[in-house]
Amino acid sequence: MILQSHGDVAFSLFGFPVYFYGLILAFACFVAVFIAKVLYAKIYNDGKAELIWEVSPFVVILGIIGARLYYCIVNLDYYFFHPIEIFNFREGGLSIHGGIIAGIIGIYIASKKYNISFLRLLDVFSVGTVFAQAVGRWGNFFNNEAFGLPSDGFIRLYVPPAFRPEGFESFSYYHPAFLYESVADFLIFLVLLFLIKKIGVKIEGVTLCLYLMLYSLVRFFIEGIRLDSALNIGNLHIAQVISAGIFIFASFGFVYLLARAHFLKAD
């Protein structure tokens, strides 16, 4: 099976191109908030589920800004000399790690403003976010990005010559890394959806930790085959280094939350 993007423009509106990436991102953000709202209403009986719509701008807007700034930082060799391009969101360039960090900050601010549990918001938004990531990766497909090493496997991605990395110009087909991550993100979504209903209401915050741990593992290994990653540290891509750091941090958080719950129950 050969995957091939037929272009990044979905249609034109009043002479301006509307990109698949933007449409998919908008849809993914809406679905993430909708999932968070539905889950909050089903799991927590505090009458604050409708506030999720009020919280969402803090999460989405700060998340996109954080994703953009992070992308520009890891590509500083370009954006240092072209600073005005930092504001050119239409050309793409977002990083989920920056989005996660800024999104958590946004959730914290919103939790204080609306007097709603910070950990509950983190848990429901983590489930919605990983589903949005599964959807959002298809924006990379239309942009001919997030692909891996050359491949002649059953499922492979055709990359046009203009998008092939230096040194790989003679190869036509590559691993569809975006697809691997999209499928893995959807599986994580199913796991979190099951677990948040079982233990999320008992141990708040543990769903977020599981999301960060599982996604970091997926990203670490998939990043290892990608050819278009930005900034390397030794033999590792920066995304692998950040993923490893997040995994360690989330693991400590996971153990702490379980230990605290056990202590409180014993007490």
DSSP symbols for 25-62: HHHHHHHHHHHHHHHHHHH--SS-GGGHHHHHHHHHHH
> Which of residues 153 and 212 earns the better pLDDT score?
212
| Number of domains into which the chain is organized | 1
For the stretch 26-79, pLDDT in tens is: 999 999 999 999 999 999 888 899 999 999 999 999 999 999 898 888 888 788
- Which pLDDT score is estimated for 230? 66
> Which of residues 232 and 154 earns the better pLDDT score?
154
Please, are residues 3 and 176 in contact by the beta-carbon 8 Å criterion? yes
200: left (phi over 0), alpha (psi -120 to 50) or beta: alpha
The whole domain housing 128 covers 2-266
pTM above 0.95, yes or no: no
Whether 266 shows a pLDDT value over 60: the answer reads no
pLDDT bucket at 231, cuts 50 / 70 / 90 = low
4 CB neighbour count, 10 Å cutoff? 12
For the stretch 120-129, pLDDT in tens is: 999 999 999 9
For the stretch 90-104, pLDDT in tens is: 666 788 889 999 999
Tell me what the mean pLDDT of segment 140-155 comes to: 90
